[in-house]
Homo-oligomer: A and B are copies of this chain.
Amino acid sequence: MTPPLRADAARNRDQLLATARLAMAEGDLALQLNDIARRARMGVGTAYRHFPTRRALVEALADSAFTTLIEEARNASRHDDAWTGVEVMLRALLLRQLTNPAFAEVIATGPDQDAAAQTTAHRAEFRAAARSVLERARQAGSLWPDLTDDDLHHLVCGTALALRIGDEPTSRIDRYLRVLLDGIHAGQP
């Protein structure tokens, strides 16, 4: 359906993504297309051709995180202990968000009107993998049954946001994650 990209175009696209990733790593979360284009030494027009909106760029940056996370969620669903599976998955989801702000943005905001097919597919795959992890824990009675999949999704995003407020997020991950896990864990303390 989509014809393959011309060699120079593919090179430029990659270059833009690399530059954007670098900018993000440097803490520039605004990711202004004009700016990225300048830093990547190419015309603004080229940048907008590849990523019509800032959101499109952000979604492209989130892709790799999605791939990893889906794999992690599937592994978590095969853990011997259902609850341990939940712990592993939520930790992974939280870490990905801290590591990759673009991913955090995509996962925190709802599905986008005109998202790339790739992103929509990833989102669905992750939801499915997560559902199986959570459902297993519910059946085992270790997850409060009144918490929906969406609730958990929101709560993890909220925890990630809580970490971003203030300094040194990484040093607080374990504490905040424990609060979340204790909060959603039913049964024995």
The answer to whether A176 and B189 touch (CB under 8 A), given A110-B166, A165-B108, A182-B182, is no
A130 to chain B, nearest CB (A): 15
- Across-interface contacts of A179 in B (CB, < 8 A): 144, 147, 155, 180, 183-184
The answer to whether A165 and B154 touch (CB under 8 A), given A175-B147, A183-B183, A189-B189, is yes
Pairwise interchain contact A176-B151, C-beta atoms closer than 8 A: yes
- CA distance in complex: A108, B154 (Å): 17
A145 to chain B, nearest CB (A): 11
Contact indicator per residue, chain A 147-160, by CB within 8 Å of chain B (1) or not (0): 10011001101111
Pairwise interchain contact A183-B175, C-beta atoms closer than 8 A: no
A162 within 8 A of B: yes
Pairwise interchain contact A165-B175, C-beta atoms closer than 8 A: no
A58 within 8 A of B: no
- CA distance in complex: A78, B151 (Å): 33
Give the contacting residue for A158; candidates B147, B150, B151, B161; CB below 8 A. B161
For this complex, 19 residue pairs linking A to B, each with C-beta atoms less than 8 Å apart, are A108-B165, A109-B165, A144-B179, A146-B175, A147-B175, A147-B179, A150-B166, A151-B172, A151-B175, A154-B162, A154-B165, A155-B179, A157-B165, A158-B158, A158-B162, A158-B165, A161-B162, A183-B184, A188-B189
Nearest 9 CB-CB pairs, A to B? A158-B162, A183-B183, A179-B183, A158-B158, A189-B189, A154-B162, A182-B183, A161-B161, A154-B165
Taking Cβ atoms with an 8 Å cutoff, the residues of A that contact B are: 108-110, 144, 146-147, 150-151, 154-155, 157-163, 165-166, 172, 175-176, 178-184, 188-189
